[in-house]
Amino acid sequence: MELADYNNCVETHADGVYRFIIKQIKDKDAAKDIVQDSFEKMWRKIDSIDAQKAKTYLFTTAYHTMIDYTRKQSKKTNLKEVDYNTHSHTMQYSDLKELLNQGLDQLPEIQKTVLLLRDYEGYDYEEIARITGLNDSQVKVYIFRGRTFLKNYIGRMEAVI
């Protein structure tokens, strides 16, 4: 990969990687750090990366960096945790995007990851398999199960009203 290819990759894919990570961890600062770490790791291996596969390499690196981050965060305890259910209002309104995000948050992490890569970022099954380390059939199963869950979650009338 040449320097021009790297710069093009940064300009072209930085926003997509950020969107993918922010949907997963919901922490803007951490997402920015993960994206920057991913580009740094890519920079260190610039000579060994094929320019045609730079996007896949970048998303794979970002995914694994995010996994490392979430594992590290799960070992920490937050003393300021608040039960938002006791501090929220019960007025109902229909915001399908918010409802979809709530449904995504309830999915297992791997289903959420493959759904975001497929439906939000537009990757095909083979690329998702390379990024996540799964095989094609596992990717298809996880996407199917995730979509089925979201369909049932959003499809309930009381959830939309």
Is residue 103 very low, low, confident or very high in pLDDT (cuts 50, 70, 90)? confident
Measured CA to CA, the distance from residue 5 to residue 55 in angstroms comes to 11
CA–CA separation, 82 vs 34, rounded Å?
A: 26
**2-6, 28-32, 97-101, range with the lowest pLDDT:** 97-101
Residues of the chain with CATH 1.10.10.10: 96-160
Count of CB atoms within 10 A of residue 138's CB?
Answer: 16
H helices of the chain, where? 3-25, 28-44, 54-74, 96-106, 109-115, 125-132, 136-155, 157-160
Q: How many CA atoms lie within 13 A of 33 on its CB side?
A: 11
- Determine the average pLDDT of the residues in 69-76: 81
3-74 classified as CATH 1.10.1740: yes
Structure tokens at 123: 């990757």
pTM of the full predicted structure?
A: 0.59
28-53: average pLDDT: 90
Question: Residue 14, Cβ neighbours under 10 Å: how many?
Answer: 16
The band of 160, judged by pLDDT with boundaries at 50, 70 and 90, is low
The pLDDT of 76-97, averaged and rounded, is 56
Does domain 96-160 fall under CATH 1.10.10.10? My reply is yes
Proportion of the chain above pLDDT 90, given as a percent: 39
- Predicted local confidence at residue 74, as pLDDT: 78
Average pLDDT (101-105) is 87
> Which residue has better confidence, 97 or 121?
121
Question: Which bin fits 4, alpha (ψ -120 to 50), beta or left (φ > 0)?
Answer: alpha
Please report which confidence band the pLDDT of residue 92 belongs to, taking 50, 70 and 90 as the band edges. Answer: low
Supply the Cα-derived Rg of the chain in whole angstroms. 18
pLDDT, position 87: 43
Cite the residue boundaries of each domain of the chain with CATH code 1.10.1740.
Answer: 3-74
Is residue 66 within 8 Å of residue 30, measured between CB atoms?
A: no
Q: Mean of the pLDDT values across residues 9-35?
A: 90
User: Which one, of 106, 133, 102, lies nearest residue 117 by Cα?
Assistant: 133
Q: How confident is the model at residue 64 (pLDDT cuts 50, 70, 90)?
A: very high
- Looking at residue 82, its pLDDT comes to 47
